[in-house]
Structure 1
């Protein structure tokens, strides 16, 4: 569970910093148009922070992090977020500075999205297994105390 908490925390910090960078970088360069930098902020906060906070809550309920599959989910998803957001940064900075964006940048972003998708599929497989497992003794809702008449 600590891994999910730490990932959410790092994404929150990076999300806030990327929003500040977007605002200041476009202001300093007098850029009035649209850029991918604006999307970095929301991607980090939504996919990273909120995504891992939701995983943290699900992990608390279903003990997901104890499974080997969780490690694969964690790294595929993190790699997907990192690659996607990094390519958004490269694309956005190139746009603001007026440089040509290489064709490899959108392709790399596509790879990041594929890794995100693989991570989400693994998460749903994990959740499906967690739902299929019987309730462990001691975790079921407590029965009302029987009273003798």
Structure 2
């Protein structure tokens, strides 16, 4: 559970810092217009901080951490956020500086989104398994209660 808490905390700090970077960098370069930098703040706070706070609550209820699926989810999801946000940073910074954005940036960002998707699939598989466990235990209890001793 601690990993989720620490991840949420780190993403909160990165989200706030990225908002500051966006504001100050565009102001320093007298840039007015649309840039990917404006989206990094929201992505880090929503996908990172809020996402891991929700995972933390789910972990408290369903004991998700400590399993291979949770570990795989944790690393795939974090890698996906890291790659996606890094490419947004590169794209946004290049846009503000007036440079052309290499095509590899978009392709790498796509890889980040794929890793995010894999992480979310792993989380849902793990949740599905945990949701079945209490139902199976309740079915056993009700069956043993109906059988006379």
TM-score by structure 2 length?
A: 0.90
For 1:117 and 1:10, the matched residues in 2 are separated by 21
User: 2:8 matched to 1:11?
Assistant: no
For 1:21 and 1:66, the matched residues in 2 are separated by 36
Q: Deviations over 1:16-66 (max 9, x none)?
A: 000000000000000001100000000000000000000000000000002
- CA shift, 1:68, in A, is 1.1
State the number of aligned residues: 137
For 1:134 and 1:45, the matched residues in 2 are separated by 32
For 1:80 and 1:59, the matched residues in 2 are separated by 20
Structure 2 gap ranges (5+): 139-149
After TM superposition, list the pairs within 5 Å mapping 1:105-124 onto structure 2: 105-124=105-124
TM-score by structure 1 length?
A: 0.90
Comparing both structures, which one devotes a greater share of its residues to helix? 2
